[in-house]
Structure 1
Amino acid sequence: MEYHTLAQDILGHIGGRENIVSLVHCATRLRFKLKDNHKADAEGLKKNPGVIMVVESGGQFQVVIGNHVHDVWQAVRAEAGLADETSEAIKDNEKAGNLCSQLIDIVSGIFTPFIGILAASGILKGLLALAVVCGWLSVEGGTYKIWFAASDALFYFFPLILGFTAGKKFGGNPFITMAIGGALIHPTMIAAFNVSQQSGVLTDAFLGIPVTWFNYSASVIPIILAAWVSCWLEKQSTRLLPAAMKNFFAPVICLSITVPLTFLVIGPLATWLSQMLANGYQWIYALAPWLAGAVMGALWQVCVIFGLHWGLVPLMINNLAVLGHDSMLPVLLPAVMGQVGAALGVLLRSQDARQKMLAGSSVTAGIFGITEPAVYGVNLPLRRPFIFGCVAGAIGGGIVGFSSSHVYSFGFANIFTLAQMIPPGGVDSTLWGGIAGTLLALILSCVMTLVAGIPRNSTPDAAIPVMPGEDDILSPMTGTVLALDQVPDATFASGLLGQGVTIIPSDNKVIAPFAGEVASLFQTRHAIGLLSDSGIELLIHVGIDTVRLEGKPFTAHVKVGDAVKPGDLLLTFDRQAILDAGYDLATPIIITNSDAYRDVLAVAGTAVTAGTPLLSIIHQ
């Protein structure tokens, strides 16, 4: 129930469940594929305090939520009645986009379901490499072997994992395509490959056709192509077979045809394509590694904004599978740390409490590779910090490229990537170059932001006297006043939703604090949004987590669209019932469009009576 209302609002602004073709999520975003993007109201959705940003790119309607995206994804699925991550039942109605958009959609749909474990496996591999170099673990010891198995399992069994997710993405039975992936890495096939590497061994054959054996463990492209073929065969078989036979014989047809076809044709062709991609990238990189690093360092975050980065993820994984190392991921780390450094510069220079709070949390998330809060919440709105982050990323990426730094396991660019850069033979200049480029990007972007990152009119100047504006907000309830950062809820306390105060109510009434109208009323009646005649947007959220009470202690005396004047009764609630249920009565009173004003000041003391001044708006 915690994200029930947010899920309803998201569905309402994307055109409803019937407009959804598919839905997946990554580390911070819900990624919708919609039948008709024109039915979606991006601007309206951006106004929801639970939504950080809305991006339309790569054929996807992307709703940036933050670290709790998985919970919101589950709530949206439950509210929309989606059976799984993708709504393939209505896939046929999808409008075709351009080739690039389709490829990005396919790649993101295949890889995003296991993005978390993919990053975790890479981090664990890097830490193991660091432990071996430092002499903390021996590769011969049982501790290393067990942790290595934990970190390597996902990559070794890639055909199994990708078989499942590719099968779902292509609209087939994912267990059939997973079985095909299992066949590619079956011990019998691995043994056949090992034998084929010996000199003088006769060539094996399938029905008289010679077979060239390859080791498909950790491979990417062969199983994706095989899954597409299998799903096509399954659809044709299901269409042609009688109803009594299709459940059994369609899988038989898929397995008996696709598996041999993969070993005879698809696998060798895909392996050749994989080697061509890896060698082609290496050829381009070898021409001017510093230039490749600078370009990627400058443009990576721009690609992330538009969702285009997914097109490069398979190439990195392919490099590791074919070459055993990858040079693209290291040059992306300065791009990430460039945005982190810019957010750090905002944190150190800004005098705005909300801006500092948002920048601080963004720095923490960015260090671990999640840059959306820093980009969307801090750097991009101020423009200069984002540009400085890209410039610093370009310089740092150039240094990393010039140093020929590589990673030897896959992950996503974050602080642990440095451990993944440790060569198998031990620490050398490639690692130090990677560290130097990363630190330079972090420090340079921070310094540039400190010096010139925030326009003068974006930060309150202590030398200019602050004069109260004409808008005073009266207290909507009687009780004890606390600072907003004392509310026991990180989302409210962080100031992400806006500036304001917290009231511990001593009675059971919520009244209108100004003249305006009711902009929103949660179905559970525990929270209400108001819009003043002068444009102030106010959220009153009675209690913490009281949405779980499903509205039982709350009574609404108004409805959405009603005009109100100061003192009008909005809500009543049963204080004792809320306390008896174990919930906190702390009530955040928040100006959700605080960014439109220079500051929001608390003018009440430690105690306040309903209808007396509580907050004062300071205009720009």
Structure 2
Amino acid sequence: MGYQDVARDILTHVGGRENIVSLVHCATRLRFRLKDQKQADAEALKKNPGVIMVVESGGQFQVVIGNHVHDVYNAVRAQAGITDDSVQPTQESSEKVNLLSRLIDIVSAVFTPFIGVMAASGILKGLLALAVVFGWLATDSGTYKLWFAASDSLFYFFPLVLGYTAGKKFGGNPFVTMAIGGALTHPVVMQAFDAASQPGAVTEHFLGLPITFINYSSSVIPIIFAAWVSCWVEKQGNKLLPSAVRNFFTPLFCLAITVPLTFLLIGPAATWLSQMLAHGYQAIYAFAPWLAGAVMGAIWQVCVIFGLHWGMVPLMINNLSVFGHDTLLPLLLPAIMGQVGACLGVFLTTRDARLKVLAGSAVSAGIFGITEPAVYGVTLPNRRPFIFGCVAGAMGGAIVGLSHSSVYSFGFANIFTFAQMIPPGGVDATVWGAVIGTVLALVVSCVLTCVAGSPRAENAVPAAVAVHENDILAPMSGTVLAMNQVPDSTFASGLLGEGAAIIPLTGKVIAPFSGEVASLFQTRHAIGLLSDSGIEVLIHIGIDTVKLNGQHFTTHVTVGDKIKPGDLLIEFDRQAILDAGYDLATPVIISNSDEYKSVTRHSNEHAIDSGMPFLTVSR
């Protein structure tokens, strides 16, 4: 399905353009703020093959897309006619949102627009530290200085960037709030800060009030509060001033009032709050670093599922601003790699071709810190791999906490985080502790999944056990077709395995043996089964019926369910599918037929009743 089709379906099921208050995207998700959440149809969206998952959290309607989120985002904006100025972020949803949800919504909206460059800047800083440690670059070289400037510029001028995005979030003129952020880092202010830091410095005043100069470079909280105040002043000015002059005088009042107020009150108060948060976290971490690591390693992915992880981002950046390093980010790396290891375990053990491809791609994305495809597509649906990933994350996080590992630049937990952990003095035990804890999390989750967590590992037949001749019962009543008569070249060629097909007379699919449900397509048109003796069967209802996106199909089982002959698996509206123009020839394929000597039809009859012997496999 193309990006335009996915975008069209998303737009339809969020309630249309008129229901959208705001739309942003992060690394894998579209984040909608809707006027009326009840108009959105999450269940319908989950059936779209281009959508991994839908999450409603933090006052946002979040559609998890994966690595192609930016392309889908652009397609949605184009189809909805959304521009930077067409969506009014100040409109309120019709639903009441609690304080935590509002906080998460604000944080995600402020940080999401530059999440990519923020991660890239942190990685570049880490790679520069690595280059210095190995002697590849000297800190006084021109090459180092240019790359350092590239990596440090975003964080040094953080108040400008945050001023712009916070202004948009609070519904004001983002260029006014960006100018306020520029005032916080202006050379005149930085010089005044340096002078005020000297012994015997004279206190400067604004209209008789003493000014407290603080280094706001890389700070987070002061500019967000200042942006909120500026947007409030702007709204009042627009109400009171005539339209002929408001475009000039409203920004004038915002700058003239908010900038002094920030230096006199907002900045010192917000800085005090920043330091309280930083020292509060540090006190908890110092009390039991291993416990902090175990807890964060265990619950981080749960926080990601519900969108609560955004609440941690300001804390991590604040730690860097106050202390120059952060101990929270390293604790998250084992949680990330725990899910990667669980996905790797599924990839190594599953015999479901579709799941293997999904798990393999999820491992690649997870290594670079994007775990939504792994969690929503592989580990969470199969339950045990997700639990094993969290357990392994807790074990690895405890080791990282005991090692007192820190990062010295901000980024998002991924394979490059190790470079960001290198302290100014070079690689030490804190770095090796993080490596050991992270590798342990990956290995433990992978091994546990291989042994007891893979959806195909639990009932797989050991190689030493002889498989005798087995019968597969007919899963439906109807007319029998040889596989080469199926009107689809992929099935007819036998590429997917040997078997036969049935043109159904009724709309029911029953279990053809004792075993378990190994896989179930989101569109419900196909199901994979594994018998107790190791036979893999794929039942694909109709040709090209995936395009129905689950319409006319009803499932009665889930992945992992135990089945016995005759159990109802799927019901479908036979006539509705035919009326929609689809062929109902249903291939019944032995997916692992290459493990058997032969796969033959039980009889040459052209008609069969459900539950009767249909196929025979033998060594």
TM-score, normalising length: structure 2: 0.79
Aligned to 1:337: 337
Aligned to 1:583: none
Aligned to 1:454: 454
* Structure 1 residues 320 and 468: alpha-carbon distance in aligned structure 2, compared to 1, 3 A threshold: farther
- Within the candidate set 458, 467, 471, 2:472 is matched to 467
Offset of residue 196 of structure 1:
1.0
Q: Deviations over 1:58-105 (max 9, x none)?
A: 221111101010111111112222222882266145433000000000
Aligned to 1:218: 218
- The amino acid across from 1:40 in the alignment is A
SS at match of 2:152: helix
Aligned to 1:381: 381
* Structure 1 residues 95 and 563: alpha-carbon distance in aligned structure 2, compared to 1, 3 A threshold: closer
SS at match of 1:30: strand
Offset of residue 32 of structure 1:
1.1
Aligned to 2:38: 38
* In structure 1, distance between residues paired with 2:231 and 2:243: 18
Aligned to 1:443: 443
* Structure 1 residues 448 and 286: alpha-carbon distance in aligned structure 2, compared to 1, 3 A threshold: same
* In structure 2, distance between residues paired with 1:389 and 1:590: 41
Alignment coverage as a number of residue pairs: 533
Unaligned 5+ runs, structure 1: 485-494, 501-512, 521-527, 537-560, 572-588, 604-616
Aligned to 2:77: 77
1:229 aligned onto 2:253: no
* Structure 1 residues 301 and 570: alpha-carbon distance in aligned structure 2, compared to 1, 3 A threshold: closer
Offset of residue 33 of structure 1:
1.5
* Structure 1 residues 459 and 180: alpha-carbon distance in aligned structure 2, compared to 1, 3 A threshold: farther
Offset of residue 531 of structure 1:
5.7
Structure with bigger gyration radius: 2
Q: Deviations over 1:162-220 (max 9, x none)?
A: 00000000011101100100111011111111111111221111111111111111000
Aligned to 2:362: 362
Aligned to 2:191: 191
Q: Deviations over 1:439-473 (max 9, x none)?
A: 11111111111111125587765858583754779
Q: Deviations over 1:226-251 (max 9, x none)?
A: 00000011011011110101111110
Q: Deviations over 1:525-579 (max 9, x none)?
A: xxx768677879xxxxxxxxxxxxxxxxxxxxxxxx994549x9679xxxxxxxx
- The amino acid across from 2:215 in the alignment is N
Indicate if the aligned counterparts of 1:22 and 1:86 stay in contact, CA closer than 8 A: no
Offset of residue 54 of structure 1:
0.8
Q: Deviations over 1:301-336 (max 9, x none)?
A: 000000000001000000001100000000100000
SS at match of 1:426: coil
* Structure 1 residues 188 and 174: alpha-carbon distance in aligned structure 2, compared to 1, 3 A threshold: same
- The amino acid across from 2:337 in the alignment is M
SS at match of 1:56: strand
Offset of residue 601 of structure 1:
9.0
* Structure 1 residues 475 and 431: alpha-carbon distance in aligned structure 2, compared to 1, 3 A threshold: same
- The amino acid across from 1:363 in the alignment is V
Aligned to 1:582: none
Aligned to 1:320: 320
Aligned to 1:207: 207
Aligned ranges for residues 122-521 of structure 1 at < 5 Å? 122-455=122-455, 463=467, 465=470, 467=472, 470=475, 475-476=486-487
- The amino acid across from 1:450 in the alignment is C
* In structure 1, distance between residues paired with 2:361 and 2:322: 38
SS at match of 1:62: strand
Aligned to 2:532: none
Indicate if the aligned counterparts of 1:9 and 1:45 stay in contact, CA closer than 8 A: yes
* Structure 1 residues 206 and 142: alpha-carbon distance in aligned structure 2, compared to 1, 3 A threshold: same
* In structure 2, distance between residues paired with 1:280 and 1:402: 19
- The amino acid across from 1:322 in the alignment is V
* Structure 1 residues 533 and 338: alpha-carbon distance in aligned structure 2, compared to 1, 3 A threshold: closer
* In structure 2, distance between residues paired with 1:86 and 1:413: 34
* In structure 2, distance between residues paired with 1:164 and 1:120: 20
SS at match of 2:22: strand
Indicate if the aligned counterparts of 1:185 and 1:217 stay in contact, CA closer than 8 A: yes
Indicate if the aligned counterparts of 2:158 and 2:218 stay in contact, CA closer than 8 A: yes
* In structure 2, distance between residues paired with 1:79 and 1:278: 44
* Structure 1 residues 172 and 225: alpha-carbon distance in aligned structure 2, compared to 1, 3 A threshold: same
Indicate if the aligned counterparts of 1:226 and 1:266 stay in contact, CA closer than 8 A: yes
* In structure 2, distance between residues paired with 1:143 and 1:21: 45
SS at match of 1:91: coil
Indicate if the aligned counterparts of 1:53 and 1:64 stay in contact, CA closer than 8 A: yes
Indicate if the aligned counterparts of 1:351 and 1:459 stay in contact, CA closer than 8 A: no
Please tell me the root mean square deviation across aligned C-alpha atoms, in Å.
3.5
SS at match of 1:82: coil
* Structure 1 residues 469 and 343: alpha-carbon distance in aligned structure 2, compared to 1, 3 A threshold: farther
- The amino acid across from 2:40 in the alignment is A
* Structure 1 residues 407 and 564: alpha-carbon distance in aligned structure 2, compared to 1, 3 A threshold: closer
* Structure 1 residues 60 and 466: alpha-carbon distance in aligned structure 2, compared to 1, 3 A threshold: farther
- The amino acid across from 1:425 in the alignment is G
* Structure 1 residues 116 and 204: alpha-carbon distance in aligned structure 2, compared to 1, 3 A threshold: same
Q: Which moved more, 1:78-87 or 1:263-272?
A: 78-87
Indicate if the aligned counterparts of 1:499 and 1:600 stay in contact, CA closer than 8 A: no
- The amino acid across from 1:452 in the alignment is A
Indicate if the aligned counterparts of 2:55 and 2:306 stay in contact, CA closer than 8 A: yes
Offset of residue 429 of structure 1:
1.0
* In structure 1, distance between residues paired with 2:227 and 2:96: 21
Aligned to 1:586: none
* In structure 2, distance between residues paired with 1:453 and 1:312: 30
SS at match of 1:27: coil
* In structure 1, distance between residues paired with 2:425 and 2:106: 37
SS at match of 1:55: strand
* In structure 2, distance between residues paired with 1:98 and 1:532: 39
* In structure 2, distance between residues paired with 1:272 and 1:162: 19
SS at match of 1:54: strand
- The amino acid across from 1:171 in the alignment is G
* In structure 2, distance between residues paired with 1:466 and 1:231: 73
* Structure 1 residues 519 and 148: alpha-carbon distance in aligned structure 2, compared to 1, 3 A threshold: closer
The percent of aligned pairs where both chains have the same amino acid is 64
Aligned to 1:551: none
* In structure 1, distance between residues paired with 2:295 and 2:30: 28
Aligned to 2:63: 63
Indicate if the aligned counterparts of 2:122 and 2:409 stay in contact, CA closer than 8 A: yes
Indicate if the aligned counterparts of 1:405 and 1:430 stay in contact, CA closer than 8 A: yes
* Structure 1 residues 171 and 359: alpha-carbon distance in aligned structure 2, compared to 1, 3 A threshold: same
SS at match of 2:380: helix
* In structure 1, distance between residues paired with 2:255 and 2:245: 16
Indicate if the aligned counterparts of 2:289 and 2:402 stay in contact, CA closer than 8 A: yes
SS at match of 2:261: helix
* In structure 2, distance between residues paired with 1:81 and 1:468: 54
- The amino acid across from 1:118 in the alignment is M
* Structure 1 residues 600 and 352: alpha-carbon distance in aligned structure 2, compared to 1, 3 A threshold: same
Indicate if the aligned counterparts of 2:297 and 2:393 stay in contact, CA closer than 8 A: yes
Offset of residue 5 of structure 1:
1.8
- The amino acid across from 2:284 in the alignment is I
Aligned ranges for residues 546-561 of structure 1 at < 5 Å? none
* In structure 1, distance between residues paired with 2:150 and 2:9: 40
Unaligned 5+ runs, structure 2: 497-520, 527-539, 557-573, 599-613
SS at match of 1:263: helix
* Structure 1 residues 240 and 138: alpha-carbon distance in aligned structure 2, compared to 1, 3 A threshold: same
SS at match of 1:312: helix
* In structure 2, distance between residues paired with 1:59 and 1:148: 38
